[in-house]
């Protein structure tokens, strides 16, 4: 169950990150931070899938 919860929470982070990217035109710093956050999110999803297979 914990692996599923992690996957859901990373989707929420992706939504927040996408919102930041849309609003990022107001600040030059936000898009780069957003790209970094999304990269970490996708890495978490890969680890989550591996954990589900392992269980």
- Residue 15: per-residue pLDDT: 62
Does residue 26 have a pLDDT over 50? no
Distance CA 25, CA 44 (A): 27
Does residue 46 have a pLDDT over 50? yes
pTM for the model stands at: 0.23
Q: In Å, how far from its chain's centre is CA 35?
A: 9
Does residue 43 have a pLDDT over 50? yes
C-beta separation of 21 from 30 below 8 A = yes
């Amino acid at each position: 169950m914990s692996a599923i919860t992690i996957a859901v929470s990373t989707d929420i982070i992706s939504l927040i990150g996408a919102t930041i990217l849309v609003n990022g035109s107001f600040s030059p710093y936000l898009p780069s931070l957003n790209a970094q956050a999304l990269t970490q999110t996708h890495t978490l999803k890969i680890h989550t899938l591996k954990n589900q297979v392992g269980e």
